[in-house]
Amino acid sequence: MQLLALVSLLPFFAALVQGCGDHAHDHSHEKRAFPVTALTPPTRALEWGDLNIIHTTDSHGWLLGHQKTSFPEPNYSGDLGDFASFVSHMKQLALEKDVDLLLVDSGDLHDGTGLSDGFPPGGVDGHESNKFLAKLPYDLMSIGNHELYIYANTLDMFQNFAPQLKGRYLSSNVNITVADKHGKPQSVPVGSRFAKFKTRKGRKVTSLGVLFDFTDNDKNTTVQKVSDMVQEKWFFDAIQEEPDLFLLVGHMPVQRDDWPLVFNAVRKVHPTTPILILGGHSHIRDCVQLDGRSMSLESGRYMETVGWMSANLDKKGSKKNITFSRRYLDPNRVTYEFHTRTRNASFDTSSGKSITQGLLQLAEKFDLNFKFGTAPQDFTIDRSPFPSNSSLLSLYAAEAMPVALTINNTRASIPNIMITNSGSQRFDVYAGAFTKNDQLTASPFADSFLFIPNITAGVAKQVLPALNNAGAENRKRALEELLEGRERELYKKGYVDMIFRKWLEEMDRRDGLERRAGQNLTLGYVTKDSCPGVGDDVVHAPLPFFETPDFIGSNAPNVTDDTPIDLVFVDFIEDQLLSILNSLQTAKNFTTTDVQSYTPVLASAVLGLFAQKAWN
């Protein structure tokens, strides 16, 4: 499943659906001088140490912030310009305190909003949006799996982005194949294997940038297993000299993954040297200490979290525990001004304002404010029961697909059942203008729709429940093993929704009802990690969470079971669907030769086409 922009198809969509009129452009990204929604300020000042780190990860193009007014979106309303101003003020505070402050990112700059994905034909994902990230004073950045799905994106990072970091863009176990000066292919690191540098205060730092064991990278890119990387001679050579601290940055969750392999390899050589780990990928807020002289931090997703870590370092050779702190900040101007001791009138820096203006111009260039229609209410993925009138999955499957996929379709009059995977929806849809940017954000996967004709309705109606394994009580154990195996395989390909949703579910089950009912709190993240103290910078009530199926479908047509109908499905699930279909009947063994294209409309265009029809 790849994330692709659909701007080249916009004229085609506009021709399909008439009636947008003059209201089709809306400036929903207009810069606000201050959040229009009242926001809860942080509970306490940050704890500064000798060494301090501001951490971002999994930004996925969310550089204009979250600009919807329904909570929790206002919590994350700061844009990259605001963040740049925040970093600038924090750097000044570090100078006043005479301490070190580093800015670090753990990867996944691509795929997620129109700023990264909304480029015109011939462009490269993230090329323009990454120019603004390069304006910030990042000390270290590491590669993520979303930099590797498409070779052109990796090549752009290798040729244009990594050089701007001057050896500080790290890809310890990730290579790209390019031509050497003689035109012969050679495999080289996308960035640098490691970095050694001194902080402003003269502390020696050795850094690595590690990616988890990702398997869905494009051809001419390679990802070495972490277990093999730590056996490399260059790795042993890089860690031999003892620095004041090891700063390990990478796109890998800080728990339940392979950071211990890297950690233990370093510890074998340097038993007491401080080790600071900054991870990512699973989109959650998390912290763990692998020993008393280390801390590992993960700072969420989509610019919904800015991570903070501080450490009071001691002399080399000490075996005492180090005093660490960590904090998860909500990225908005109230948070930023609180921690920088500024006010609305004094917060913005010239660089920050320039970045904001540049992002707004990029949004205009990409026509991200093109308005498909006006959403009448919020539609959420897992904060609403499925099925329900406020479920985005219900809206997409039962209403949007039947409308969008049958526009100018010669098979529109033939009864059908349409099926897709629930993971096709990546972000909630909020009341108000539904724009091109919202379309790219909510439903970014550019998958095709296929169909098999003349499936009897009685059989077709069983496919969706079978895909979701309804009623398979006697196969429960086998099913659990199958799902665990599928989850492991999907994880290797980069899918983290299962981890993120389990985190949300646990958050809601733990104290959701009590906090939402008994306290006057806004919705947001309520983090429980394994590090001491309270990590969240602002007290929230957790979002409601409801289970959703793996697969969703349109309502079955009102026909007799022997009526032949079209079985329509997204190409991403073709193999699974054929297997299920063959298990439900014996009249024919269906193969890919029986599958045809149903429509030129891609999955990522469905909501926009529906909005043009239904929300005007």
Cα–Cα distance measured from residue 452 to residue 432, given in angstroms and rounded to the nearest whole number: 37
Instruction: Give the SS3 label for residue 419.
Output: strand
Where, residue-wise, is CATH 3.90.780.10 in the chain?
A: 371-468+549-614
Cα–Cα distance measured from residue 46 to residue 55, given in angstroms and rounded to the nearest whole number: 14
pLDDT band at 555 (very low <50, low <70, confident <90, very high): very high
DSSP lists the bridge partners of residue 373 as 434
Instruction: Give the SS3 label for residue 346.
Output: helix
DSSP string spanning 3-50? B---GGGHHHHHHHS---GGGGB--TTPPPSS-SS--PPPSS-----S
**Average pLDDT value for residue range 441-451:** 94
Cα–Cα distance measured from residue 400 to residue 434, given in angstroms and rounded to the nearest whole number: 14
Helix axes 259-269, 233-240, angle to 10 degrees: 50
The whole-chain average pLDDT of the chain stands at 92
**What is the predicted pLDDT for the residue at 365?**
97
Cα–Cα distance measured from residue 421 to residue 402, given in angstroms and rounded to the nearest whole number: 15
User: In terms of Cα–Cα distance, which of 394, 389, 438, 375 is closest to 548?
Assistant: 394
**What is the predicted pLDDT for the residue at 488?**
82
Task: Please check the confidence at residue 298 and state whether its pLDDT lies above 80.
Answer: yes
User: In terms of Cα–Cα distance, which of 305, 304, 308, 302 is closest to 278?
Assistant: 308
| pTM above threshold 0.95 | no
pLDDT band at 317 (very low <50, low <70, confident <90, very high): confident
Amino acid at 71: F
Report pLDDT digits (tens) over 351-382: 999 999 999 999 999 999 999 999 999 999 99
Where, residue-wise, is CATH 3.60.21.10 in the chain?
A: 44-365
Report pLDDT digits (tens) over 34-92: 567 789 999 899 999 999 999 999 999 999 999 999 999 999 999 999 999 999 999 99
User: In terms of Cα–Cα distance, which of 208, 191, 192 is closest to 147?
Assistant: 191
Cα–Cα distance measured from residue 479 to residue 485, given in angstroms and rounded to the nearest whole number: 10
Q: How far is CA 553 from CA 399, 472, 550, 584, 606, in A?
A: 10, 19, 11, 17, 14
Report pLDDT digits (tens) over 195-212: 999 999 999 999 999 999
Architecture of domain 371-468+549-614: Alpha-Beta Complex (3.90)
pLDDT band at 519 (very low <50, low <70, confident <90, very high): confident
**Helix, strand, coil tally for the chain in percent (to 5):** 35, 20, 45
Q: How far is CA 605 from CA 425, 441, 497, 551, in A?
A: 12, 11, 21, 19
Report pLDDT digits (tens) over 121-165: 999 999 999 999 999 999 999 999 999 999 999 999 999 999 999
CB 441 within 8 A of CB 557: no
Secondary structure of 213-251 as H, E, C letters: CCCCCCCCEEECCHHHHCCCHHHHHHHHCCCCEEEEEEE
Q: How far is CA 71 from CA 62, 65, 76, 411, in A?
A: 17, 14, 9, 41
CATH class of 44-365: alpha beta
Which run of H or E residues covers position 141?
strand 140-142
